[in-house]
Structure 1
């Protein structure tokens, strides 16, 4: 069953430690389990130009809450930590065997744990043979350092090829994909403001739908406030007639159900076909409560059909 995932990207940088701890506490109080971070979060917010702040903040929170490790599931990523702060993502560490092993050790140290529940290849690295990346991820799983494995920002065909390689090597393979996905869809071919983002396409949904061993996690699900905040306009990639049609349908359904547009979007993702694990960031307790309330919203067949038909 799909769940809302708390995105911890800005914890320890733009969101201070006290505020981060309060958000984590409320998330667990509300029944949340999955916490998502990465070894490079949030390098662009920190004077050093390097990440690790989010993992350290989550680690300090866990250390200050006895018994909390048994209540939460941790997700982190490797591959996009800059090696040269001046060049940022252009100097991403990549996914070689040596890098992945060292990054896992560093993430576990920052988090203060012995294993993570999900470990992701954060970005592609075509400089490294896919078989090498698959092998090292499988070794981490075999060693008990990662309970599950996934690939973020990776095309479906590469994920499927990697899964085949893993089967041939006799190691654990990727069982989750993480991509940008929301109710509104960017214009095909239009560049996104973040060049590192990779969008869900219809074949992605078909791929996940056809394989019960694969799940989809979605980021930027609420388009950085674009569904409800006048100060957060949508990117230019969303400036097309389909967006206007979908926003009209979303407003009508939200009004009829007496809920927010954000909540309808999350309900649409959580109970869709395929069901999606939406990653949601929150900077205030009120915003976190809003998104957690979306778990109780069930869209009837007529509302979902209206949402789906808008294009």
Structure 2
């Protein structure tokens, strides 16, 4: 698998695709989760993304499941030194059965506790990429960033990222870290795919923040900043009739983009999912897709995206589709 350095010139080298493990240990059982992880590493992948709250919203779960499953796989395969572990803090509910309204947040106390518990569940002494999962404007940035820097200095964390943060908050945090000599955010993780939502409507859950043109413009001038995209395949909506698009995608531009996407996929002998991933990887601001799979067969289709090459003319067709309609 093609590799790239993430988080700036001193950051680790990761495979082109990141494996998201949100359903592991819950809707995807442990045996299947292990098989998917095995196949991903066999294919050259090495960046595994989880969080300390996956999937608290599923009946009968606590939020421990994904990290704990990844931790058991790491121990079983003795694979810790072969992979990079990415996990998150800030969005785990503090009251069982509730949602983000009781999220732990990004205070010093919450971050230290979250990191300690994630390390325990993962069975490791370090987190390679640690994310502030959602914004917490109730806590001063100085407190959040200072605490994250402590974790880096202690060797518990490698590089830092922010997920579901607005561009202006990301820039403010990075400027503050530079001014204080702290470790700053060098990765951004947002929702992003080929189909574009209406920005005057909310996404399915209020915590989601979508990649905006403003963010891409910002990243062009920030060579140390890596963009990663979750929900890059819209939970199967490109190919599955039982996975409807959110209301924010209900506009004329969606139909136009889907039509061109399917045309390009047919011309290349690829699937729409593979074209979407190739489109993300090869943009003028390269984006690392975080891909999820519930079977090895789904993962194999995803890995096939690495063999799909878009010419400049084809990319322009995809980019221009739906612009006048939307």
Length-normalised TM-score, structure 2: 0.93
Contact 1:13 1:46 in 2 (8 A): no
Residue of structure 2 aligned with 1:64, choices 76, 90, 99: 76
Identify the match of residue 53 of structure 1 among 46, 65, 72.
65
Provide the residue aligned with 2:20 in structure 1: 7
Structure 1 unmatched runs, 5+: none
CA distance in 1, matches of 2:149, 2:307: 37
Residue 32 of structure 1, aligned match among 45, 57, 66: 45
Q: How many residues align?
A: 309
Please tell me whether residue 234 in structure 1 is matched to residue 245 in structure 2: yes
Shift in Å, 1:87: 2.2
Aligned to 1:169: 180
Tell me if the contact between 1:245 and 1:310 (Cα under 8 Å) persists in the aligned partners. Answer: yes
List aligned pairs for 1:151-300, cutoff 5 A: 151-300=162-311
Say which is worse superposed, 251-260 or 292-301, in terms of deviation.
292-301
Residue deviations 1:20-63 (CA, integer Å, cap 9, x gap): 00110011111111100000011112425x31110000000000
- Structure 1: how far apart are the matches of 2:313 and 2:127? 40
TM-superposed CA distance for 1:187, in Å, is 1.5
Describe the superposition over 1:143-195 as per-residue Cα deviations: whole angstroms up to 9, x where unpaired.
11111100000011111111111112211110011100000001121122222
Are residue 107 (structure 1) and residue 114 (structure 2) matched?
no
Distance across 2 between alignment mates of 1:46 and 1:231: 21
- Report the secondary structure of 1:160's partner residue: helix
Q: Which runs of 4+ in 1 moved over 3 A?
A: none
Structure 1 residue 221 displacement after superposition: 0.6
- Counterpart CA distance in 2 for 1:302 and 1:65 is 44
* 1:142 and 1:171 in contact (8 A); partners too: no
Aligned-CA RMSD value: 1.0
> Hey, what's the Cα distance between the residues in 2 that align with 1:126 and 1:190?
22
| Residues in 2 aligned to 1:129 and 1:236: alpha-carbon distance in whole angstroms | 34
CA distance in 1, matches of 2:199, 2:54: 29
- Measured in 1, the distance between the counterparts of 2:263 and 2:63 equals 41
Query: Partners in 1 of 2:293 and 2:264 — Cα distance?
Result: 24
TM-score between both structures, scaled by the size of structure 1: 0.97
Q: How far is the alpha carbon of 1:111 from its aligned partner?
A: 0.2
| Distance in 2 of aligned mates of 1:220 and 1:135 | 30
